[in-house]
Amino acid sequence: MPAKKNKIDPATLQGEALLKEACRRIRVARNLWKEHRNGACRNEREKALELYERLSAEQKQKVPETLRTWLKYRSEKYFGKDRKGNGANSKG
């Protein structure tokens, strides 16, 4: 029998739990990106961004710099709002 997963409602998270979940989601998105699973990465990144935006300025400073950098700049390059496709498969 598989282990039970604790379902966490991101809307109810606050404080340290919110910070931990945001960092976890960024790490998951970054790992998916490294594995070239772009669709899954995009979904996870959007969830991570929602949590990250709920953090206070003080909490944002507690997020490791490598994660903040990837979320803000590196991932924006590949998954930003202005990004339409990957070139070869893009229809227009």
For residue 17, pLDDT beyond 70: yes
Residues 34-70 pLDDT 10s:
999 988 988 998 999 999 999 999 999 999 999 998 8
Residue 1 covered by a domain: no
User: Does 8 reside within a domain?
Assistant: no
Domain assignment present for residue 4? The answer is no
Work out the angle at residue 44's Cα, subtended by the Cα atoms of residues 38 and 48, and round it to the nearest 5 degrees. Answer: 135
pTM, 2 dp: 0.75
Would you place residue 88 in the very low, low, confident or very high pLDDT band (cuts 50, 70, 90)? low
Residue 92 is assigned to a structural domain of this protein: no
What DSSP string describes the chain? -PPPP----GGG--HHHHHHHHHHHHHHHHHHHHTT-HHHHHHHHHHHHHHHHHS-HHHHHHS-HHHHHIIIIIHHHHHSTT----SSS---
Based on the structure, what is the number of domains in the chain? 1
Enclosing domain of residue 51? 14-79
Is 89 within the bounds of a domain? no
